[in-house]
Amino acid sequence: MTTSNTEIRELPPTILSFVKDLPNICSLVGLACTILSIYFSILGIFYAAMIGMIWAVAFDWADGLIARRMQGRTGNERIFGGQLDVLIDIVSYGVAPAVLLLSFGNFDPIFLAGAFLMLAASAIRLSYFSTFGLSDELKYTGLALDNNNILLVFIFLLESILSQGIFSVVLYISGVGLAILNVSQIKTPKLSGNPRNVYFLAIYTLAMSAVYGWKLL
């Protein structure tokens, strides 16, 4: 008599089961901030867009800090969280700045080239590090994408000082310059991994939110 052995395979978790993971919730809140940023950029309410862009960075950094301090997360939760971060990053640091540039340029076709370069650099950078990972835990090769939003929010303060024509050129050059730095071979410090830098970002986020909130009044 022969006995047939049947393999009992564990069913994969449901898609929405990962939503209850706190770092993933934080990531999704950051994505909501990004969507608001894109929405306000299209409407031409750029000060509100700046607030959304910097809060997207704040929640991005916070989810990493929470994930590193949480205990008991499964391997699947860590892998899923990493994939979710990458997909949200392309929207937050690629799509949102590109839409900002296009909208401030009144969707003139000449701004398409700059927007494409910004988005392409983001996609190339994320694909590269998804393939090869980090070679150094303390430094990045090229400028990390989250710096794009941090710097653009600061650069946009010049918008109230310069004429629209001049600032559109400044914004264009800044966006393309950041794209070049994103895919460059220069070494830059990894800011998001340091808890102290998270607190500095929190102060910066609140300060920029207050400045742009006041400008909206």
Higher pLDDT, 140 or 74: 140
Q: What is the pLDDT at residue 122?
A: 97
Cβ-contact 114, 100 below 8 angstroms: no
Q: Domains plus CATH for the chain?
A: 20-216 (1.20.120.1760)
Which string of DSSP letters, residue by residue, matches 94-159?
IIHHHHHHHHHTTT-THHHHHHHHHHHHHHHHHHHHHHH--S-SSEEES--THHHHHHHHHHGGGG
Share of residues in the chain with pLDDT > 70 (%): 93
CA distance 182 to 164: 26
- What residues pair up with 140 in beta bridges, in sequence order? 188
Over residues 131-177, the pLDDT tens digits come to: 887 766 678 899 999 999 999 999 999 999 999 999 999 999 999 99
Higher pLDDT, 54 or 6: 54
At 53, the pLDDT band (50, 70, 90 cuts) reads: very high
Q: What is the pLDDT at residue 7?
A: 53
Tell me the mean pLDDT in the region 46-70.
90
| Six-digit token string for 51 | 């607030």
**Count H helices, E strands: the chain?**
8, 2
Phi, psi (deg, nearest 5) at residue 73: -70, 135
- Taking the CB of residue 185, how many other CB atoms lie within 10 A of it? 6
Over residues 173-195, the pLDDT tens digits come to: 999 999 999 999 999 888 876 77
- Taking the CB of residue 127, how many other CB atoms lie within 10 A of it? 12
* Statement: residue 78 has pLDDT above 90: no
Global pTM reads 0.89
Residue type, 82: G
Higher pLDDT, 191 or 101: 101
C-alpha to C-alpha distances, 206 to 77, 135, 195, nearest whole angstrom: 30, 33, 17
At 44, the pLDDT band (50, 70, 90 cuts) reads: very high
At 1, the pLDDT band (50, 70, 90 cuts) reads: very low
Closest by Cα among 127, 55, 62, 61 to 90: 127
